[in-house]
Chains A and B, each alone.
Chain A
């Protein structure tokens, strides 16, 4: 149906959008679309642009590869923190055990092995102090002199 046939009465009675020819009622100033590209290009000169970072092409596969590693890391942290908590708990429990109970336990269950006996001679070695204290005999002597510990009675 032609546009002109749609009179006011037709509209009111039985208007169908499909009967109406498509028409753009809006207008632009003369030569607007000839000028627009230049106006935009002028603005882009001051706008700068955001180039893709150098790692952009590798970023997507890298993200996919990193995801399981991060998960593994998190799982590891959780696991080790739980282990540490367990150890601390054991230490707390052990601290509550009385000396008498420990001595009883050791005298009942501890077994000395031949390697323990092999270490006995080294206990009398003159270097024992140095080995255990991590201090030279000379330094130890100097300390004794400084604090006059040799004169002290225990």
Chain B
């Protein structure tokens, strides 16, 4: 179902629930994986994904259709991730590296993570990046979004995103060579 059709149905109180159910089914995986790659832990990703969709439910009628629905959803999910990681640091007075260490430990110990050595190393290398650069990398490398779309989601210029991605790739390659 097209986004326009979902939005039109959502505007009608009689078909609102049906439309929202279709919206969740259409975007749940994209949103979940976007969040999961940032917070690593499934339970955290599950909570945040649900929070994102609850926010979407509350605000969808105010959504101005001058941007695409999925970029709006990505933006909400991105903000939820950044807020979550930031509050995690504040809550435990942790510096960036300690949160990265905690997430790295999850990669080693979690039963729902399965990959070969190089793939695990790549994920650990990613955790060495600052949150926003990690977001940029994930959106470009895994989600294969265009820079223009990323720019709309992150509110950053295309040039800055290109530079950020380029540096992220260099850092990851260096980390894997060195480690």
The interface of chain A, by Cβ under 8 A from chain B, is 3, 6, 8, 11-17, 20, 22-29, 32-33, 36-37, 39-41, 43-44, 47-52, 56
Check A26 against B113 for contact (C-beta < 8 Å).
Answer: yes
In whole angstroms, how far apart are the Cα atoms of A39 and B59 in the complex? Answer: 19
Q: Pick 5 A–B contacts, CB within 8 A, sort by A.
A: A3-B118, A14-B177, A25-B113, A25-B114, A37-B24
A-B contact count (CB 8 A): 99
Check B169 against A27 for contact (C-beta < 8 Å).
Answer: no
Set of chain A residues within 8 Å of B24, measured between Cβ atoms? 36-37, 40-41
The interface of chain B, by Cβ under 8 A from chain A, is 16-17, 20-21, 24-25, 28-29, 32-33, 36-37, 40, 42, 46, 49-50, 53-54, 57-62, 112-123, 141-142, 169, 172-173, 176-177
Question: How distant is A78 from chain B, measured CB to nearest CB, in Å?
Answer: 35
Check A37 against B60 for contact (C-beta < 8 Å).
Answer: no
Check A43 against B62 for contact (C-beta < 8 Å).
Answer: no
Given A8-B117, A52-B62: A47 touches B54 (CB 8 Å cut-off): yes
In whole angstroms, how far apart are the Cα atoms of A28 and B37 in the complex? Answer: 12
Residue of A20, A27, A40, A41 most packed against chain B (CB within 10 A) = A40
In whole angstroms, how far apart are the Cα atoms of A32 and B32 in the complex? Answer: 11
Check A36 against B117 for contact (C-beta < 8 Å).
Answer: no
In whole angstroms, how far apart are the Cα atoms of A12 and B116 in the complex? Answer: 16
In whole angstroms, how far apart are the Cα atoms of A15 and B177 in the complex? Answer: 6
Question: How distant is A119 from chain B, measured CB to nearest CB, in Å?
Answer: 69
Check B113 against A43 for contact (C-beta < 8 Å).
Answer: no
Check A15 against B119 for contact (C-beta < 8 Å).
Answer: no
In whole angstroms, how far apart are the Cα atoms of A29 and B20 in the complex? Answer: 23
Q: B57's contact among A29, A33, A47, by CB below 8 Å, is which?
A: A47
In whole angstroms, how far apart are the Cα atoms of A39 and B21 in the complex? Answer: 11
Set of chain A residues within 8 Å of B117, measured between Cβ atoms? 8
Check A44 against B57 for contact (C-beta < 8 Å).
Answer: yes
Check A41 against B20 for contact (C-beta < 8 Å).
Answer: yes
Question: How distant is B68 from chain A, measured CB to nearest CB, in Å?
Answer: 19
Set of chain A residues within 8 Å of B112, measured between Cβ atoms? 26-29
Q: Which residue of B lies closest to A23 (CB)?
A: B119
Given A41-B21, A41-B24, A50-B59: A15 touches B173 (CB 8 Å cut-off): yes
In whole angstroms, how far apart are the Cα atoms of A40 and B42 in the complex? Answer: 16
Set of chain A residues within 8 Å of B60, measured between Cβ atoms? 49
Given A11-B177, A15-B173: A44 touches B115 (CB 8 Å cut-off): no
Check B173 against A17 for contact (C-beta < 8 Å).
Answer: yes
In whole angstroms, how far apart are the Cα atoms of A28 and B113 in the complex? Answer: 9
Set of chain B residues within 8 Å of A48, measured between Cβ atoms? 58
Set of chain B residues within 8 Å of A37, measured between Cβ atoms? 21, 24-25, 28
Check B37 against A17 for contact (C-beta < 8 Å).
Answer: no
| Contacts A17-B169, A24-B33, A33-B28 known; 19 new A-B pairs at CB < 8 A | A3-B116, A3-B119, A8-B117, A13-B177, A17-B172, A25-B119, A27-B114, A33-B29, A36-B50, A37-B24, A39-B50, A40-B54, A41-B17, A41-B21, A43-B50, A44-B53, A49-B61, A50-B62, A56-B62
